[in-house]
Structure 1
């Protein structure tokens, strides 16, 4: 029997000890090499992309000769105006890479000795960067499409068994309203080339809303596998489609959605075992994170951390997480409450992207 990848030495290329023992100067140099890898670790202006500059602070701040604007390592990135040290940011990325099912903000706050609020925002910024890095990915070959609902669990049952039926009946409708639908489109791995399939996730009101998204991100010769839900009927007009009746078979005549179900099991395991509860307003970021981890499940933790940092360097400042604890909180998305935020059209656009809907 083949050894699981996570048990092999190839899965462990960096340890928390090696990162935590770094000096601040060394951690800063490591982040520079990763974020500005395209220029050999030398500064790139986030405003115009220029590579000619002069130092205005000892290897900490520069001014671009092209646009004449000042910038630092995290300027124009999702970590703009960060207050944590570079060593803590680097350590957080390694901890995040080591969490196969994700990392809770409570755990990260204890390990880095930072407040829960700082850990919560940091993790969500990394999740958002991971999702933005895959926003242009198109899928081809064999793609499985499926949907599943998350959240909306009932409160703790009363101690008296005689009250259970009445309790369930009373709370079932309210719990159902809190449930959110995640639709996944998962490309199967290619055994001939060894290429790992990509994943895209979307928070939608119903499965049928994914038809237009599939039209845009699936290449024309894609073979689609879906279950027998009537919501997927239009797929047959757009792509070669195979359907599977889950009430009778897991797989039949080559049709199955087991890989999509495997991703949903990862999400449910993370919800039960790591986070305990995932708010509907932030479910898209958790889905993007776990899709990224599923897609890179056979990549070493050191390479995963480097990929995260690279995505952070490419992601613009978050429009929904800046000032989150100061009151600029995004409203939960539901059918009755369309995507919106506090007071800014830019926030509306950001939430529209996260939910997969057009603004």
Structure 2
């Protein structure tokens, strides 16, 4: 409630987003010049560089760009997304912010893009790494037989994997950080490539007994826990990453209900952000800290509705 009251003034919203985006002073997003003039009547800046003279706002070149929705509603939506443990649906945003469900859905996907954080280092420098895969999707036993047959023919999957999407995750126990992404399948080449791309060669990696991990000990220290016999053997277990899967599935099933595989990566980014920035004994982050971090990551990213719905090609730009 304090945040809602604080951001009810449009000028306060602009000042806050500008301070998060340009901590060293306002910079023109077109030419990166620092000589700018603020037009208070329109809440925009004008670049005074000789070869630029373009106008811009705090929304320019960010996930807020070209959005007629005011910043106070954007900031409230960001606060809700980063601080609701199980996520928040577009219908809840619609009711809380008085926008259409379509606009709320678009806002949430743009916020998820802002939450995405590209890794700058590999895991495994200080402690063991857990690796595991999960399958996200509908329960095949509850699917209509005609739909089940159609999905099975399309994907070639059988049994309990019909209609599900494979995701892979790794957890660094020392950093208490997780990374997760959608993968095409759980074949050996795909799983081991995902691990080697994110883990140092001298790291200890703990996995379950899945056949996709066979041969991983040729590249790093690999320990296996056989879940048909036990779940923990000393330090060898995958309970940490399975806890992340539990949180992810709780949000997908309870809040979002149905998620298309095309969009699943964005929901993973949302859950990864909340997990990596949760309050711990060593890092007591507050709701305000998570919120400020999310706003600071909104610049340099753009997502159009056509890209989101797959009507045009292209990917997010940084």
Q: TM-score, normalised by structure 2?
A: 0.85
Shift of the alpha carbon at 1:61? 2.4
Counterpart residue number, 2:165:
180
Counterpart residue number, 1:61:
45
Shift of the alpha carbon at 1:142? 1.5
Unpaired segments ≥5 residues, structure 1: 1-13, 159-165, 191-195, 331-341, 354-359
In the TM superposition, 1:171-320 aligns within 5 A as: 173=152, 176-188=161-173, 190=174, 196-207=175-186, 208=188, 209-298=190-279, 299-313=285-299, 315-318=300-303
| Cα 1:157–1:53 shift into 2, 3 Å | closer
Shift of the alpha carbon at 1:229? 0.9
Give CA deviations for 1:299-318 in whole Å, capped at 9, x if unaligned.
Answer: 211111101101112x4212
In the TM superposition, 1:48-127 aligns within 5 A as: 48-55=31-38, 58=41, 59-63=43-47, 65=49, 68=52, 69-127=54-112
1:146 aligns with 2:97: no
Give CA deviations for 1:116-159 in whole Å, capped at 9, x if unaligned.
Answer: 1111111111112211x23434322321110000013348579x
Counterpart residue number, 1:30:
16
Cα distance in 2 between the residues matched to 1:27 and 1:143: 41
| Cα 1:253–1:72 shift into 2, 3 Å | same
Cα distance in 2 between the residues matched to 1:256 and 1:66: 61
Unpaired segments ≥5 residues, structure 2: 154-159, 280-284
Counterpart residue number, 1:18:
5
Cα distance in 1 between the residues matched to 2:147 and 2:72: 49
Aligned residues: 301
Cα distance in 2 between the residues matched to 1:66 and 1:154: 63
Cα distance in 2 between the residues matched to 1:66 and 1:264: 53
Give CA deviations for 1:201-231 in whole Å, capped at 9, x if unaligned.
Answer: 1111123313223222222322111111110
Cα distance in 2 between the residues matched to 1:111 and 1:243: 47
| Cα 1:225–1:328 shift into 2, 3 Å | closer
Shift of the alpha carbon at 1:237? 1.4
